[in-house]
Homo-oligomer: A and B are copies of this chain.
Amino acid sequence: MTDAYYKKLDEEKVFKDPVHRYIHVRDELIWELIGTREFQRLRRVKQLGTTYITFHGAEHTRFNHSLGVYEITRRILDVFEGRPHWDEKERLLTLAAALLHDIGHGPFSHAFEKIFGTDHEEWTRRIILGDSEVNHTLRKVDDSFPQAVSEVIEKTYKNKLVTSIISSQIDADRMDYLLRDAYYTGVSYGHFDMERILRVMRPMEDQVVIKQSGMHAVEDYIMSRYQMYWQVYFHPVSRSAEVIINKIFKRVKDLYQQGYEFKQKPNHFYSFFHEKVSLEDYLRLDEAITLYYFEVWQDEDDRILSDLCVRFLNRKLFKYVEFNPNQWMNDWPKLQQLFQQAGIDPEYYLVIDSSSDLPYDFYRPGEEGERLPIHLVMPNGKIRELSRESDVVEAISGKKRTDHKLYYPLDLLMNMKEHTETKKEILTILNIQM
């Protein structure tokens, strides 16, 4: 234990933040973590992937958000200080975990991970435990400290109360991203009274609970979450851009495996193709690098790769129609076949994308992805699960909503000169008037 590294800064440092006004740093450890190259790298990974294609304001990065999660956690811990159930010795651990919880994210994670089988949570662990500036900094506290930070983020840490501050149905992560994403997109959803929620959070045994008097603020938070998912996060135009990125990665991988001669070789991707990715390889890959390749690949001879890159960079996206799985059972293979006939490779140009969300759920033991419920503490000290007290939450509790969309390049279809019968059939199935 290097006590020196629990030390405070001589003078508090602040970051001006549009969401929380100021982010306050008093611990030298936190200050040093922010200065590591792995953390600075988050400046080159957008918080909302392709959302900026739809909401042009959403150009903020994970650097931004990570500071915000840290700040909210810091405020929660100010409320917890001196209260029963809360052990002040967990403070620095909680703050470090809050700051680093997203450190493993790469460029356009969602699209990327699907193709290359990586997992940002695993990379978060590897960055924290491996040979990184983050790890070296954390070690200054104690050799076992990186392990503890990693466990908090992975929710395997023994003190579940610490975990629940950063990761539960109402945690510092969610609160920051709802407020921050609302701020940057400019939508009016996403606002809720965080200051009120912070005031009514209480540590209790293995979880954070909410004083019953704050129930309505929590209802408001859950509704904000619900609205943000459907209005912003699942916006079909952003998903169209993501679909295209996904197909770019797929095409590059396929071409590589086919021995295609790239004009600009995908150097940064080789280890991903071979699924032998070192920490160094992983950290090299950010959005600037990825966009570089997309830009130069516009000039590749492979028409699919080139076309997809042009589409993404110049916002010539795929169009979409609602896709009802039951109804489309027959149409789907038919469409694929018609695309083939028309010379438009359905593997890259005909895509189903689904989104689904569960705005709030109580505990369902044994189910996949089970989620810890939000608990209220009543004036008499009893604990009650939120949906038993709130009509609104009860009403939407456990109601999963799913949305399927079929993406396709309308422009290619419309510009087709040949295969006019095929074209007509496709347009009919897609229900498009010419």
Binding site for B on A (CB under 8 A): 14-19, 21-22, 35-37, 40-41, 43-44, 52, 55-57, 59-61, 63-64, 67, 183-189, 191-193, 195-196, 199, 216-217, 219-220, 223, 226-227, 230-231, 284, 286-289, 291-292, 295, 313-315, 391-392, 395-396, 399, 401
Whether the Cβ atoms of A195 and B22 lie closer than 8 Å is yes
Taking CB atoms, residues of chain B closer than 8 Å to A16 are 55, 57, 185-187
29 interchain pairs (CB within 8 A)? A16-B185, A16-B187, A18-B185, A18-B186, A19-B186, A21-B195, A35-B314, A35-B315, A36-B314, A37-B313, A40-B313, A43-B56, A43-B59, A59-B61, A188-B191, A189-B216, A191-B191, A216-B227, A219-B227, A220-B227, A223-B392, A284-B295, A288-B291, A288-B292, A288-B295, A289-B292, A292-B292, A392-B396, A395-B396
**CB-CB < 8 A to A314: which residues of B?**
35-37, 40
Interface centre among A16, A217, A399, A401 (most CB of B within 10 A): A16
Q: Taking A61-B59, A220-B189, A314-B40 as contacts, is the C-beta distance between A392 and B226 under 8 angstroms?
A: yes
Measured between C-beta atoms, what is the minimum distance from A38 to chain B in Å? 9
- Among all A-B residue pairs, the 5 with the closest Cβ atoms: A395-B395, A18-B186, A288-B291, A292-B292, A188-B193
Q: Which residues of B contact A315 (CB under 8 A)?
A: 35, 40
Q: Which residue of B lies closest to A185 (CB)?
A: B16
Give Cα A286 to B313, complex, Å: 12
| Residues of B close to A291: CB separation below 8 A | 44, 288-289, 292
Find chain B residues with CB under 8 A from A226 CB.
392
Name the contact of A220 in the complex, choosing from B59, B188, B193, B287 (C-beta under 8 A): B188
Q: A189: shortest Cβ distance to chain B, in Å?
A: 6
A387 smallest CB distance to B (angstroms): 11
Residues of B within 8 A of A18 (CB): 57, 183-186
Q: Give Cα A396–Cα B222 distance, bound, in whole angstroms.
A: 15
Shortest Cβ distance from residue A179 to the other chain B in the assembled complex, whole angstroms: 11
Q: How far is the CA of A295 from the CA of B284 in the complex (A)?
A: 8
A195–B18 CA distance with the chains assembled, in angstroms? 13
What separation, in Å, do the CA atoms of A401 and B231 have in the docked complex?
29
> Whole-angstrom distance from the CB of A170 to the nearest CB of chain B?
16
- Chain B contacts of A57 at CB under 8 A? 16-18, 60, 64
With a CB–CB cut-off of 8 A, which chain B residues contact A43? 52, 56, 59
- Distance between Cα atoms of A55 and B216 in the complex (Å): 17
Give the distance in Å from the alpha carbon of A230 to the alpha carbon of B390 in the complex.
Answer: 12
Q: Are B21 and A186 in contact (CB under 8 A)?
A: yes
Q: Are B59 and A59 in contact (CB under 8 A)?
A: yes
Pick from B67, B220, B231: contact of A56, CB below 8 A. Answer: B67
Q: Is the CB of B59 within 8 A of A60?
A: yes
Which residues in B have their C-beta under 8 angstroms from that of A231? 216
- Given contacts A18-B183, A191-B191, A396 and B391 within 8 Å (CB-CB): yes
19 more A-B contacts (CB under 8 A) besides A22-B199, A189-B220? A16-B55, A16-B187, A17-B186, A18-B184, A19-B186, A21-B186, A22-B195, A35-B314, A37-B314, A40-B315, A57-B60, A188-B192, A188-B193, A216-B227, A223-B392, A286-B295, A391-B396, A391-B399, A395-B399
Residues of B within 8 A of A287 (CB): 288
Measured CA separation A59–B64 after assembly (Å): 9
A219–B224 alpha-carbon span in the complex (Å): 11
Q: Is the CB of A56 within 8 A of B17?
A: yes
Contacts of A391 in B (CB 8 A): 396, 399, 401
Q: Nearest chain B CB to A281's CB is how many angstroms away?
A: 13
Q: Find chain B residues with CB under 8 A from A40 CB.
A: 313-315
Report the minimal beta-carbon distance from A99 to chain B, rounded to whole angstroms.
Answer: 13
Contacts of A216 in B (CB 8 A): 189, 227, 230-231
Are A193 and B187 within 8 A (Cβ)?
yes
Give chain B residues whose Cβ lies under 8 Å from the Cβ of A187.
16, 193
Give bound CA distance, A314 to B41, whole Å. 8
Residues of chain B within 8 A of A183, CB atoms compared:
18
